[in-house]
Amino acid sequence: MAKDTFFQKKATINARGTLIDLNTPRVMGIINLTPDSFFSDSRKPVVEDAVAQAGRMLADGATFLDLGAYSSRPGAEDISVQEEIDRLLTAVEAIVATYPEAVLSIDTFRSPVAEAAIKAGAHIINDIAGGQLDEAMFDTVARLQVPYILMHMKGTPQTMTKLAQYEDVFGEVFDYFVQRYEQLRQMGVHDVILDPGFGFAKTAEHSYTLMSRLQDFDMLQLPILAGISRKRMIYGLLGGTAQDALNGTSVLNTIALTKGANILRVHDVKEAVEAVKIWHQITNIGNHTGNRIP
């Protein structure tokens, strides 16, 4: 019997009045408005380059574009709130003007940045810190009534590498989601997406453990985002650098789909969309023959 007989996940989110169905997995394209993000090809600090990248990703099939103006790679430089806003808003405004149909996610853990971007036309807040680095974040999300991506991380981008210690990594991440989601639910936040935070305060072994049990997060009945694109957990195992990790990313994205991921957050949209199409075709055949893939 398929696992979703028992756990009916929330399957839609409301982005400024548009209902987006996540029963078919969606792809989120990464656009970094930073000069120092870990994958150099994702760096688009010039507004015109960010807009062009947005166009390419939308043409390749991205449902969401995730814009970040603060690098969260391990040991990244800490920048001011104002600098983050300055980097972000011109790009948000330009993309909204050029591609008004685009659904924009804002990768920030700071509530003033999140609010400014939403008011500029963005739709979703993607918080790597799950509200832990800004106590006003949950209030802001509840007031703005926007979808919220709740990620697990310990510490900050500057300190997280030293905090990758767990007795039971899955159990601790699961409990974190239970506690943080309950707070959000009580505050009236309706659309929450869970992100286990692969590589954030986690060793490669921790990240692969979470991937191996990704389907168990379905017990929380919320959509799951998998963000493993070109990360060290891939090229550390296979060799090379982030530049060499596209094939490994595609393999791991496909595994994530089989384990119930609803959103793939990626640098390479075309390849992720192809993985979703192939997965969807196989799943549909399984449904029609009565042999659904578990």
Could you give the residue numbers annotated as active site? Answer: 231, 265
DSSP letters, 212-227, are HTGGGGGGG-S-BEE-
Cα 291 from Cα 283, distance rounded (Å): 9
26-32 and 263-266 strand pairing: parallel
Could you give the 3-state DSSP secondary structure of residue 125? strand
Q: Report which of 265, 104, 110 is spatially closest to residue 199, judged by C-alpha positions.
A: 265
Question: What Å distances lie between residue 166 and 37, 172, 285, 289, CA to CA?
Answer: 27, 8, 40, 42
- H runs (alpha helix) in 99-231: 111-119, 137-144, 169-186, 204-212
The answer to whether the beta carbons of residues 155 and 201 sit under 8 Å apart is yes
Phi, psi of 264 (to 5 degrees): -105, 120
